[in-house]
Amino acid sequence: MDFQTQAVAARGAAVELATLTRAAKDTALHAMADALAASEGRLLQANAADVEAARAAGTPESIVDRLALTPARIDGMVQGLRDLAALPDPVGDVVRGWKLPNGVSVRQVRVPFGVVGIIYEARPNVTADAAGICLKSGNAALLRGSSSALNSNRVTVEALRAGLEAAGVTPDAVHLVEGGRDVTAELMRARGLVDVLIPRGGAGLIQAVVDGSTVPVIETGTGNCHVYVDADADVDQAITILLNAKTQRPSVCNAAETLLVHRDIADTFLPRALQALHGAGVTVHGDPATVAYSEAVVPAGPDEYDAEYLTLDLAAKVVDSLDEALDHIRAHTTGHSETIVTRSRRAADRFVAEVDAAAVLVNASSRFVDGGEFGFGAEIGISTQKLHARGPMGLPEMTSSKYVIEGDGQVRA
């Protein structure tokens, strides 16, 4: 099927999906899980071909690792679909409702978007994950995966569609969009057929989608997340939070990338913090004031305060005041998750009020900014834009709403 045919088929499927009961969708999710589990052998084989081609093309091992599937990873994909079946269905939820003075009833009700396009990179597990989240939220999915995962994605989508069919749901709810860059461009400009685009991947991918799309886009996050250690911080707490935010999983968007330290606490905090970071294998890239505290600190280049390392590296800077910290964050934030460590209520209140980000944390690790940690059960990504959804996006964020207005003949005077 070419893209246009797929998009039209998805639009048709969306009409059916919008009125499916939760029970029907959950049955379909389990059938998709069953079909995916049954195709494990073929999927591993297809994935081995993708991995071999990637290695032959000189792809870095870190990317090959994201691409590679194992029986355990496939189990994770299968279990992910079953977990979605256990979650509440957002569709049909009444957001709010009231009566007009003349007795007309107004209800704002959650409805699916319709057709959702997902543009993503090498991880083939996203294919099952995104298809499942779209199905549970009543949306048809156009999955535009990476060409490097094409064989894996084909087997996965084939299994998912077979599962849908076995459950009596139209397989046109899920499509793998194949082809060159021109097809991505078609997807990005398919207004009227595609309701929302969600890019999942690096900053370059997201920028390209934002620039090229006329379909509305929900950006998911790049995170240059700051930890600001205030003059009034509890030093032990600050070290614990910093270490967790930086090292618990450095490759993700809610990991810390920049440390700001108030000058008044630097003498107490920095020697211990730098030692702990060094012990955890973190390379600190510091301003001259930070460098002065340890030989292990390397001087920070001018662009490092804008870096999203995603590695065991951390930019660091000593600031003269809360105001300087706020200014620094304002200049360098990607609007993801920003943290203050302080015992001062006034400092915490100002930080919370003035920092413009999806999440602002006081005395807690930014690693909590996550759909799973929030208890959402599923997460399509973390939005760093301000429209529609900001922060972790669960199933309700995958819906729009509709006003249902019921009367018995009322008209406007």
Give yes or no for a contact between 31 and 174, defined as CB atoms under 8 angstroms apart. no
Taking Cα atoms as reference points, which of 271, 284, 196, 216 lies closest to residue 239? 271
368 binds a copy of itself (CB under 8 A): yes
Nearer to a copy of itself, 7 or 122 (CB): 7
**Site size with a copy of itself, rule: CB under 8 A:** 69
* Window 213-232: contact mask with a copy of itself (x via CB under 8 A): -x-xxx--------------
Question: What type of residue sits at position 238?
Answer: A
Taking Cα atoms as reference points, which of 98, 131, 91, 92 lies closest to residue 115? 131
Q: How far apart are the first and last CA of the chain?
A: 52
* Window 243-282: contact mask with a copy of itself (x via CB under 8 A): xxx--x----------------------------------
Rule CB under 8 A: choose which of 234, 264, 313, 324 binds a copy of itself: 234
How far is 135 from 24, CA to CA, in rounded Å? Answer: 10
Please give the torsion angle defined by the CA atoms of residues 362, 365, 369 and 370, in that order, rounded to the nearest 10 degrees. -160
Residue whose structure tokens are 């509440």 = 88
205 binds a copy of itself (CB under 8 A): no
Of the ranges 23-31, 130-138, 160-168, 211-219, which one interacts with a copy of itself (CB under 8 A)?
A: 211-219
Rule CB under 8 A: choose which of 2, 75, 320, 373 binds a copy of itself: 373
**Which residues, 375 to 394, sit near a copy of itself by CB under 8 A?**
375, 385-388, 390-391
DSSP at 357 = S
DSSP at 304 = G
363 binds a copy of itself (CB under 8 A): yes
How far is 271 from 15, CA to CA, in rounded Å? Answer: 61
Question: What type of residue sits at position 225?
Answer: C
306 binds a copy of itself (CB under 8 A): no
Nearer to a copy of itself, 32 or 197 (CB): 197
Question: What type of residue sits at position 251?
Answer: S
240 binds a copy of itself (CB under 8 A): yes
Rule CB under 8 A: choose which of 130, 196, 315, 325 binds a copy of itself: 196
104 binds a copy of itself (CB under 8 A): yes
Structure tokens at 413: 């005077």
358 binds a copy of itself (CB under 8 A): yes
Structure tokens at 350: 């100002």
- Cross-strand bridge partners of residue 284: 314
Give yes or no for a contact between 224 and 334, defined as CB atoms under 8 angstroms apart. yes
Give yes or no for a contact between 281 and 314, defined as CB atoms under 8 angstroms apart. no
Q: How far is the CB of 223 from a copy of itself (least distance, A)?
A: 13
Question: What residues make contact with a copy of itself under the rule CB under 8 A?
Answer: 15, 18-19, 98, 100, 104, 106, 108, 111, 113-114, 191, 195-196, 210-211, 214, 216-218, 234, 236-237, 240-241, 243-245, 248, 330, 348, 352-354, 356-365, 367-369, 373-375, 385-388, 390-391, 400-412
